[in-house]
Amino acid sequence: MDEESTEYKRDSRRTKYIIIVFILFIVLILILILFLYLIRSPLIFRSGAYSSTTTSTDETRPAGTSGLSLDNSYVFASPLRAKVGGEQIRITVYILNDRGLGMSGKTVSLGRGSQLQVSSIQPVTDGQGRATFDVASESAPGLYIIEAAVDGATLIQKATITFD
């Protein structure tokens, strides 16, 4: 009987251990699902930058840019470094309003240096406020500062890229 009793206790402990591991696994999965939900939720990770201006007579805002925020809008480059003579750098410009939301239908232009070739992939912003360009340098290595403009106003934020 002692062997049966010992075997029963061992099986009972093993069963408890399996149940505890299973419960921990389920809890970890639920935490992962919650984390992924919070990352994708636009209410939590939306830009918190708001303009303090409430009138349309703001002297810093060019005419025709109602709601456009030059402070919230930004320029993104990837990669930041490329080789001269064929490699391209993707420039993505995000045009955002005073509440940090993308503005669609805005035409974006990049400051063009005589040494860079700019290809407009999507110069008019989509529903997220995104416009896309490719930049290349055929023969001029160097450091370049990329500026973007919308509705006659230049964005405050710029991107610095390098061609080797």
Strand partners, 145: 160
Residue 50, pLDDT > 50, answer no
Q: Which two tokens stand for residue 26?
A: 């389920």
Place 26 in a pLDDT band, splitting at 50, 70 and 90: very high
pLDDT tens digits, 81-116: 888 888 889 999 999 988 888 899 999 988 766 688
How high does pLDDT run on average in the chain?
A: 80
Report the range of poorest mean pLDDT among 63-67, 129-133, 147-151. 63-67
Question: Tokens at residue 10, please?
Answer: 């061992």
Q: Does 35 have pLDDT greater than 80?
A: yes
42 pLDDT higher than 70: no
Per-residue pLDDT, 69: 85
pLDDT on residue 66: 56
Residue 23 has pLDDT above 90, yes or no: yes
CA distance 156 to 149: 9
The rounded distance, in Å, linking the Cα atoms of 63 and 84 is 39
Asked if the bond preceding 79 is cis, omega within 30° of 0, the reply is yes
State residue 41's pLDDT score.
Answer: 61
The domain limits of the chain are: 1-45, 74-163
- Give yes or no for a contact between 154 and 139, defined as CB atoms under 8 angstroms apart: no
Topology of domain 74-163, per CATH? Immunoglobulin-like (2.60.40)
Share of the chain above pLDDT 70, in %: 80
